[in-house]
Amino acid sequence: MLRRLGWLIGLSQRSRQTKSIDAEPYVARVKPVLMIDTVQEIAIYIHRFHNLDLFQQGWYQIKISMRWEDGDNNSCGIPSRVVQYEALDSTSNDSYGVWKIDDKDSSFLTQPFRIKYARQDVRLCMMVSFTMPLERYEGSATSAVILKFELLYSPIMEDIPVTHSDACAAAVHEFRIPPKALSGVHSYCPVHFDTFHAVLIDVSVHVSVMKSAAYKRPAILSSDASNGKNLTSGNIQSSKKAFTQIASADKKLVSFVKALLGARDTLLEEMQRLSKAVGQTVDLSEFVSSMDNALLSDSGSTGKSVEVEGSGQGKLQNNLELNGPFDLASDDWLHNFSKEHLSRTFHLLGTQLHYLWNTFLTLHRDNYTKILEYLRDIWTKDRRAEWSIWMVYSKVEMPHHFISGMEDISNHSSHKRVSTGLKLNDPAQVASTRAELHRRSIAQMRINNRAIQDMHIFGDPMRVPIVIIERVWNAPRRTFSDNSYMRHVDRIDSSLLNGHDDESGTKKHINPQHTGRELKIVVFVHGFQGHHLDLRLIRNQWLLIDPKIEFLMSEANEERTHGDFREMGQRLAQEVVSFFKRKKDKHARYGRLKNIKLSFVGHSIGNVIIRAAIADSLMDPYRKYFHTYISLSGPHLGYLYSSNSLFNSGLWLLKKLKSTQVIHQLTLTDDPDLQNTFFYKLCKQKTLCSFKNIILLSSPQDGYVPYHSARIESCQPASFDNSKRGVAFLEMLNNCMDQIRGPSPETPHHQRVFMRCDVNFDTTLYGRNLNSFIGRAAHIEFLESDVFARFIMWSFQDLFR
């Protein structure tokens, strides 16, 4: 009975013997699994934080994160490596703590730093690398990466800041790294946040594709195994299982190898370019040759003879050849490899990329300042080309004869490339239609390049202002052939747009020791009932282009813009002269001044105040220093022939109720005789002829300032007006154009740059309200948006240096 009971419960001797014979001992060993995968390596170098225009003092931090554009919030990058290039000043009270990695959202946070004043610099000098998984893609990514920068703020309660969990995100700036750039790119990427938190963070982004660190090389892929040595039956069985697992992923394997090849070539080219730029020699020829030999030596073990045909793209220039050059445009040559050889190729390329990437990081760590400056120079030169999507260029000749109304209108319209079905008798309507047609064409564009895209601009391309640049040439009189005339115009055009200063097409490099110190002053003047900080966005862009300028945000006429323009001009002239002398004396202490440039920027009637100040005798000794003049929607010809009936009614009420002097002068009703009015006399005075560069910005959507007055050109009503008013208007127009047409008294041989820039804003952002109805929205948009200023100023940087 007991024996039977033992048999039932499995305790019999026979049962125990059977189990002991059949059972094999358990081996606590995991066979290596062939996991072939790639990852995206994105390194962010943060050089410095520069406070341009933060409104509040406090503790600030920079938070960085990234994610796939087509994925959810879970598909984000993971900070994998942080390197601090420079030791922080532990004795300073302006920084506290250390950098952190937040595991909750896989983000990186810099140490908190305190901002106390404008133009303050905080050196951060650190590199953080993010790893982006590529398991959803076959080799190369087909989705873009969104790079997100957040500015965290906490007030100054005491010397120790609050934790980052209590700090609030004051501003966000996002960038898009397109799929083409993910194969490898090294680019400067300035972070500015928004108009209310204007800063500059010098950042460079470095991208490559790497072999995943989770990849484990199986025994079958060792060099001994490939030669058929030391192969046991267990290893053979293991290799069969491993290859069975990747049998269904043969195409993916080809894609992985091709992705690593492309990343390897890009990284080699970029390293050669960067090492040459910083003057450091990085000799990788021996290493690459040995790696290529190792890669190619495995082809004999595949049992196949590989014949490769292709045109060759010239990308593999380091002895990576196999019976002819590889054609990376086609992957046919990869399909001829066996799975074993593809796996070995993948591993060898991954090892090589890892070595090259670490070599680049070492090069960057030793030369991070030079590399950043080099990448920033490239970024600066590429602005005109990258932002040309929203810019339209045309070129017109400035007439030499006396302008009649009809001739000026026909000349203006003949250079507008619009449909013949449009009415060409209204320049404002022509400009609006032309911009709208261009905006529609943008909707059909597919922006697909390798440049990192600023989402403030590229996030919604249809909402970005359209800028129409009209270059007005003061052409020489045609005393010679038309062909030579066109050559002259084209030569000047190419030299200016490319930043060249001489006719040979090469930049003039002037030794600073021979030129001495240079003082550059820019004066910003607000408009009617304006504030001295109204033009701060234009000022910030100018500071980004040339950080050495001295700027004056005029306060002389703040809350005093209702009186006489002459009095406002005198106050501005006194303010400018006092500021000029103070800055000149300060710079003279550090060395001799050999060059001084004085520029002006005005908005609305601030431009009239500028011209009234220049006409004042107090400014006579300083006209020789005039450099660039930017007019943002300035009524240079007054409000004659204004087509905004609603705004005209408001002006009439102001004149009747308040009898404001400035309104009478703007409408040329300050004197019964038009030739005795302020504007008529102002146009006869030499207020524009001393500037080397004149840029007039206007908008056909601006109902506050007549379109023709902002552009200093004629209009249709004036062309049919034979009254005294029409004659006076034409004389005012020609007096202004004669100053622009003629040479500068100080530099008679200098070719003056004269441009008219039409800015067409996206009106859908305004909605239906009173501001948009009366045309005020576009007039104020010149102060509240800086995108148009970026386009113009960075496309013609030489005018602002």
Q: Is the pLDDT of residue 526 over 90?
A: yes
Task: Note the pLDDT of residue 35.
Answer: 58
- Show me where the domains of the chain are located: 38-211, 458-475+516-799
Instruction: Say if residues 107 and 147 touch (Cβ distance below 8 Å).
Output: no
Distances (CA, A) of 194 to 130, 200, 456, 541: 25, 11, 9, 12
pLDDT: is 502 or 46 the higher one?
Answer: 46
Q: pLDDT by residue (tens digit) across 486-513? A: 344 444 444 444 444 433 334 444 444 4
Q: What is the pLDDT of residue 138?
A: 65
Cα 522 from Cα 545, distance rounded (Å): 13
Q: What's the pLDDT tens digit per position in 609-655? A: 999 999 999 999 999 999 999 999 999 999 888 777 666 666 666 66
The closest of 486, 480, 559 to 526, measured between CA atoms, is 559
Q: What is the largest CA-CA distance in the chain?
A: 137
Q: How far apart are CA 202 and CA 216, in angstroms?
A: 38
Residues with Cβ within 8 Å of residue 425, at least 6 apart in sequence: 409, 413, 716
Q: CATH code for 458-475+516-799?
A: 3.40.50
CA 127 to chain centre: 21
Place of tokens 């004042």: 616
Tens digits of per-residue pLDDT, 368-426? Answer: 999 999 999 999 999 888 898 999 998 888 766 555 544 444 444 444 444 444 444 67
* pLDDT at position 748: 63
What band does 218 get if pLDDT is binned at 50, 70 and 90? very low
Query: Can you tell me the distance from the alpha carbon of 165 to that of 100, in angstroms, rounded to the nearest whole number?
Result: 12
- Range with the lowest mean pLDDT among 38-52, 278-292, 654-668? 278-292
Query: What distance in Å separates the CA atoms of residue 507 and residue 495, rounded to the nearest whole number?
Result: 9
pLDDT of residue 259: 83
Supply the pLDDT for residue 771.
Answer: 64
pLDDT of residue 310: 35
SS3 700: coil
When pLDDT is cut at 50, 70 and 90, the band that residue 162 belongs to is low
The pair phi, psi for residue 726, each rounded to 5°, is -65, -40
Query: Given pLDDT bands bounded at 50, 70 and 90, which one contains residue 762?
Result: confident
Structure-token pair, residue 226: 């490939």
**Nearest-10 Cα torsion for 150, 152, 153, 159:** -140
Is 596 in a helix, a strand, or coil? strand
Categorize the per-residue pLDDT at 758 as very low, low, confident or very high, splitting at 50, 70 and 90. Answer: very high
- Who wins on pLDDT, 359 or 415? 359
- Alpha-carbon distances, residue 31 vs 135, 243, 341 (angstroms): 22, 13, 21
Residue 79 pLDDT grade (very low, low, confident, very high; cuts 50, 70, 90) = very high
Mean pLDDT of the chain: 77
Q: What is the pLDDT of residues 30-44, one digit of tens each?
A: 444 445 678 889 999
Q: pLDDT > 70: what percent of the chain?
A: 69
**Does the pLDDT at position 297 exceed 80?**
no
What values do phi and psi take at 591, rounded to 5? 145, 170
Pick the range with the lowest mean pLDDT from 47-51, 706-710, 763-767: 763-767
Q: Is 585 helix (H, G, I), strand (E, B) or coil?
A: helix
Torsion of CA 155, 159, 163, 169, to 10 degrees: 30
Name the class of domain 38-211.
mainly beta
Least confident span in 106-120, 264-278, 743-757: 743-757
